[in-house]
Amino acid sequence: AQSVTQLGSHVSVSEGALVLLRCNYSSSVPPYLFWYVQYPNQGLQLLLKYTSAATLVKGINGFEAEFKKSETSFHLTKPSAHMSDAAEYFCAVSDAGNMLTFGGGTRLMVKP
């Protein structure tokens, strides 16, 4: 069975600082991995996805994530946080074909 763990339900950074949101997954087969962002009162928007091609994946809004099989991790980073990045971020895995299994989410707060 697949599962996702996001370490830290809340992360606070200063504007301009590095953003690092952690995601570890469990999967019995090579997975597809995703990061979604949810802004207040909105649906989920895909930031980026790993599909077994390049291990470093670039997404929208300056975010990127690196797939590390040995660590079963897919951490999300952004070099410099903007106020507009404040939102909830979800890591998800799919190895069963149809469904996405989501982590518990990390709320990112950006301080001016």
Nearer to another protein by Cβ, of 7 and 96: the residue is 96
CB of 9: closest distance to another protein in angstroms? Answer: 10
Q: DSSP characters for 35-65?
A: EEEE-TTS-EEEEEEE-SS-SEEE-GGG-EE
Nearest to 16 by CA among 93, 87, 81, 85: 81
CB of 43: closest distance to another protein in angstroms? Answer: 4
CB of 80: closest distance to another protein in angstroms? Answer: 27
Nearer to another protein by Cβ, of 62 and 105: the residue is 105
Nearest to 94 by CA among 48, 36, 25: 25
Nearer to another protein by Cβ, of 24 and 102: the residue is 102
Residue showing tokens 């975010």: 63
Give the three-class secondary structure for 32. Answer: strand
Nearer to another protein by Cβ, of 3 and 80: the residue is 3
CB of 82: closest distance to another protein in angstroms? Answer: 21
The answer to whether 75 touches 66, Cβ cutoff 8 Å, is yes
Under the rule (CB under 8 A), what is the footprint of another protein?
31-32, 36, 41-46, 49, 51, 90, 94-105
